[in-house]
A and B are shown apart, each in its own frame.
Chain A
Amino acid sequence: MSAYPPPPDVIAGRVAWIFGDDFDIDLVVGVANIKSYDPEHLRSVCMSAYDPGFADRVRPGDVIVGGRNFGYGHPHYPPMVALRNAGVAAIVAESFSPGFWRGETFNGMPLITIEGITDAVSVHDEITLDWRSATLRTADGTQIVGNPPNPRTVAIIEAGGSYELLLAEHAPAHA
Chain B
Amino acid sequence: MGFTIAEKILGRTTGEPPVRAGENHAVRPDRMIAYDFPGYTDVMFRQMREDFGITELEDPSRYVVFIDHMLTKDDEREAQVHQVTRDWCEFYGIELHEAQGIGHQLTAELGLATPGDFLVHFDGHISGVGAFNALGWGIRKDLIEAWVSGQVYVDIPATTRFDLVGEFPEGVDSRDLVHTIIELVGADGCAHQVMEFGGPGARSMAVDHRQGLCGMAMFTGAVSAIFEPDDVSTAYARDVARHAFDPVYPDDDAVYAARHTIDLSTLVPRVVRPGSARVANTSTVAEMTGTPITRAFIGSCASGRIEDLRAAALVLDGQTVSPSVELNVVPTSKKVFAQAEEEGILDVLRNAGATIAMSSCDFCFGYQQPLQPDENCISTGVLNITGRMGSPDANIFMGSPYTVAASAITGTISGATK
Q: How far is the CA of A124 from the CA of B52 in the complex (A)?
A: 44
**Chain A min CB distance to B41 (Å):** 15
Q: Are B51 and A95 in contact (CB under 8 A)?
A: no
Q: Are B188 and A95 in contact (CB under 8 A)?
A: yes
Check A171/B52 contact, CB under 8 A, given A99-B218, A166-B144, A166-B145.
yes
**Chain B min CB distance to A5 (Å):** 19
List, in ascending order, chain A residues with CB within 8 A of B149's CB.
166, 169-170
User: Is residue B198 contacting chain A, with contact meaning CB distance below 8 A?
Assistant: no
Q: Are B51 and A97 in contact (CB under 8 A)?
A: no
Q: Are B187 and A102 in contact (CB under 8 A)?
A: no
Which residue from chain A places its CB closest to the CB of B138 in the assembled complex? A99
Q: Are B188 and A162 in contact (CB under 8 A)?
A: no
User: Is residue A125 contacting chain B, with contact meaning CB distance below 8 A?
Assistant: no
User: Is residue A20 contacting chain B, with contact meaning CB distance below 8 A?
Assistant: no
List, in ascending order, chain B residues with CB within 8 A of A170's CB.
52, 148-149
**Chain B min CB distance to A128 (Å):** 27
Check A31/B140 contact, CB under 8 A, given A97-B188, A169-B149.
no
User: Is residue B86 contacting chain A, with contact meaning CB distance below 8 A?
Assistant: no
Q: Are B383 and A74 in contact (CB under 8 A)?
A: yes
User: Is residue B124 contacting chain A, with contact meaning CB distance below 8 A?
Assistant: yes
User: Is residue B142 contacting chain A, with contact meaning CB distance below 8 A?
Assistant: yes
Which residue from chain B places its CB closest to the CB of A156 in the assembled complex? B153
List, in ascending order, chain A residues with CB within 8 A of B155's CB.
150
Bitwise interface map of A from 131 to 175 toward B, beta carbon under 8 Å scored 1, else 0 = 000000000000000000011100000000011001101110110
Which residue from chain B places its CB closest to the CB of A174 in the assembled complex? B51
Check A102/B385 contact, CB under 8 A, given A72-B188, A170-B52.
no
Partner among B142, B222, B386, B388 whose Cβ is within 8 Å of the Cβ of A162: B142
Q: Are A95 and B383 in contact (CB under 8 A)?
A: no
Interface residues of A, CB < 8 Å — how many?
31
Q: Are B145 and A162 in contact (CB under 8 A)?
A: yes
Chain B 174-212 residues near chain A, CB threshold 8 A: 187-188, 191-192
Which residue from chain A places its CB closest to the CB of B193 in the assembled complex? A98
Q: How far is the CA of A19 from the CA of B51 in the complex (A)?
A: 38
Q: How far is the CA of A171 from the CA of B144 in the complex (A)?
A: 13
Q: How far is the CA of A22 from the CA of B149 in the complex (A)?
A: 34
User: Is residue B139 contacting chain A, with contact meaning CB distance below 8 A?
Assistant: yes
User: Is residue A26 contacting chain B, with contact meaning CB distance below 8 A?
Assistant: yes
Check A26/B385 contact, CB under 8 A, given A99-B124, A102-B142.
yes
User: Is residue A32 contacting chain B, with contact meaning CB distance below 8 A?
Assistant: yes
List, in ascending order, chain B residues with CB within 8 A of A68's CB.
188
User: Is residue A8 contacting chain B, with contact meaning CB distance below 8 A?
Assistant: no
Q: Are B140 and A69 in contact (CB under 8 A)?
A: no
List, in ascending order, chain A residues with CB within 8 A of B299's CB.
none
Number of A-B contacts (CB under 8 A): 80
Which residue from chain B places its CB closest to the CB of A69 in the assembled complex? B188
Q: Are A32 and B191 in contact (CB under 8 A)?
A: no
Q: How far is the CA of A14 from the CA of B142 in the complex (A)?
A: 31
List, in ascending order, chain A residues with CB within 8 A of B139's CB.
102
User: Is residue A54 contacting chain B, with contact meaning CB distance below 8 A?
Assistant: no
Chain B 1-59 residues near chain A, CB threshold 8 A: 24, 47, 51-53
List, in ascending order, chain A residues with CB within 8 A of B24's CB.
150-152
List, in ascending order, chain B residues with CB within 8 A of A167's CB.
51-52
**Chain A min CB distance to B219 (Å):** 9
**Chain B min CB distance to A81 (Å):** 13
**Chain B min CB distance to A42 (Å):** 16
Which residue from chain B places its CB closest to the CB of A72 in the assembled complex? B187
User: Is residue B387 contacting chain A, with contact meaning CB distance below 8 A?
Assistant: yes
Which residue from chain A places its CB closest to the CB of B192 in the assembled complex? A98
Chain B 379-415 residues near chain A, CB threshold 8 A: 383, 385-388, 392
Bitwise interface map of A from 8 to 44 toward B, beta carbon under 8 Å scored 1, else 0 = 0000000000000010101000011010000000000
Q: Are B387 and A24 in contact (CB under 8 A)?
A: no
Which residue from chain B places its CB closest to the CB of A70 in the assembled complex? B188
List, in ascending order, chain A residues with CB within 8 A of B124's CB.
99
Q: How far is the CA of A162 from the CA of B47 in the complex (A)?
A: 13
Which residue from chain B places its CB closest to the CB of A103 in the assembled complex? B140
A-B residue pairs, 6 tightest by C-beta? A69-B188, A31-B386, A31-B387, A150-B24, A152-B153, A106-B141
* 18 A–B pairs (Cβ distance < 8 Å), ordered by A: A34-B387, A69-B188, A69-B191, A69-B221, A72-B188, A74-B385, A95-B188, A97-B188, A98-B191, A98-B222, A99-B138, A103-B140, A162-B141, A166-B52, A170-B149, A171-B52, A173-B53, A174-B51
Which residue numbers of A lie inside 8 Å of B, CB to CB? 22, 24, 26, 31-32, 34, 68-69, 72-74, 95, 97-99, 101-103, 106, 150-152, 162-163, 166-167, 169-171, 173-174
Further pairs besides A22-B278, A166-B145, A171-B51: 8, Cβ < 8 Å? A22-B187, A24-B385, A32-B392, A98-B222, A98-B223, A103-B140, A150-B24, A163-B47
